[in-house]
Amino acid sequence: MSDLLRVEGLRLGYGRADVVHAIDLTVARGSIVSLIGSNGAGKTTILRALSGLMKPRAGAIRFLDGTPADIAGEAAHRVARRGIVQVPEGRQVFANLTVAENLRLGAYHAPGPEVARRQEAVVARFPRLGERLGQQAGYLSGGEQQMLAMGRALMAEPVLLLLDEPSMGLAPLIVEEIFSIIADLRREGRTILLVEQNATAALGVADHAYVLETGRIRLQGPAAEIARNPEVTAAYLGL
Ligand code: ATP
């Protein structure tokens, strides 16, 4: 598989402190890569840099779709136009807008008939959203809001989908449902970088995994191997 994203020597921080220390990370086209690690390890910070919300202090973010480009420091709207689309931690749906309005915001640059076609595809994937198209997003359950946030991202037809903690605050059955949809997306050829504290779910669905500890990559490898690693089972899988 060819690489879609190659991060080299990425250094990130807030104020005086560095929180991510020169990490390297690669995402192969058509794969799911999981980035696991405890609270505060720097996972969200990395996603913020990848989607253009934060300027790296050093390093390259090579996006290899079409003409390869180093997108480190590029503005978020330009990164989004390249097809890198993030589903943020905590969903961040627009509570006062309807489900349909939230979805359409994901494809605001697309022509009308195309928006309708994409919305149909999203509703086929998330039938519960279809039943609630006219309802205000603020009244949806946590799981439905996660589906809406993912549906909104899919409306942009992303080349690289960044998922930040999709399992957060959701009941186990809903987590299972969300992760089965993530696996479907991969089968359909999407490329996904998944950040999770729920290591069991994240390693179950991924091809490759990175374990981040206080801003450094501590381990990486095929997800099945990482899931068997004794350090990982002790620290992250609660076994
Ligand atoms: P979580 O699962 O809690 O989101 P995380 O692995 O995503 O954890 P980050 O949110 O990236 O971790 O945080 C990494 C470090 O950066 C933490 O020490 C955090 O306190 C710090 N940090 C995050 N956001 C800011 C900010 N806006 N200003 C200052 N420090 C921050």
- CA-nearest residue, atom 28 of ligand 1: 14
Alpha helices in 35-126 (DSSP H): 43-50, 76-82, 99-105, 112-125
Q: List the one residue out of 19, 2, 148 whose CA is nearest residue 88.
A: 148
Give the pTM. Answer: 0.95
Q: Is the CB of 26 under 6 A from ligand 1?
A: no
**Cα torsion angle, 43, 142, 201, 208, sign:** negative
Which residues 6+ apart lie within 8 Å of 17 measured at CB? none
Which domains occur in the chain, in start order? 1-83+191-239 (3.40.50.300)
State mean pLDDT over 12-19. Answer: 95
Cα torsion for 207, 185, 235, 24, to the nearest 10°?
A: 60
Q: Is the CB of 48 under 6 A from ligand 1?
A: no
What is the distance between the alpha carbons of residues 178 and 199, in angstroms, rounded to a whole number?
15
Residues 78-133 have pLDDT tens digits of 999 999 999 998 889 999 999 999 999 999 888 889 999 999 999 999 999 999 99
Q: List the one residue out of 197, 196, 204, 214 whose CA is nearest residue 180.
A: 204
Q: What is the ipTM of this complex?
A: 0.94
The DSSP 8-state label assigned to residue 132 in this structure reads: T
Q: What is the predicted pLDDT for the residue at 239? A: 54
Q: What's the pLDDT band for 39 if we cut at 50, 70, 90? A: confident
Q: What is the predicted pLDDT for the residue at 231? A: 87
Q: Is the CB of 205 under 6 A from ligand 1?
A: no
